[in-house]
Amino acid sequence: MLPVAVESLRAHYARQLEDRFWVGSNWQASDPVFATYEGQRSQRSERYPSVSSALEKHGFRYQRVHNLRHACASSLAASGVPLRTVSEILGHSPYQLTADLYEHVYESVTDQAAR
């Protein structure tokens, strides 16, 4: 993962540990990454309020984070970022997974360059 994502998840986890401390025995044991204050699995609309508000602010409809990840990777590929770099950003191992998923984007870039 990108360092900024790791840093953000660590900060989120620290806040979640604090919530767990204050809630005490009422904390739910399911331990999802994104939970309500009591540790229960959150509803989709509650999971990423900052993402939802950023999308809305810029005139986009709600997107699943997975779709945003795919759009980011496609944009990087279409911008000519080397496939190995895109693979590292996505955390794909093996590299071939990224090649299989985004090969069509690179073919399109190559076609445009040839024209």
Structural domain boundaries in the chain? 1-47, 61-115
pLDDT of residue 45: 56
Helices in the chain by DSSP H: which ranges?
3-23, 44-47, 49-57, 65-78, 83-90, 95-114
Kindly indicate the confidence band of residue 6, based on its pLDDT and cuts at 50, 70 and 90: confident
Rounded Cα–Cα distance for residues 18 and 80 (Å): 42
Give the predicted TM-score (pTM) of the model.
0.52
Summarize pLDDT for 56-101 with one digit per residue, the tens.
888 888 887 788 888 888 888 888 888 888 888 888 877 788 877 7
pLDDT computed for residue 44 by the predictor:
61
pLDDT of residue 99: 79
* Percentage above 90 pLDDT, the chain: 0
56-67 pLDDT, tens digit per residue, is: 888 888 887 788
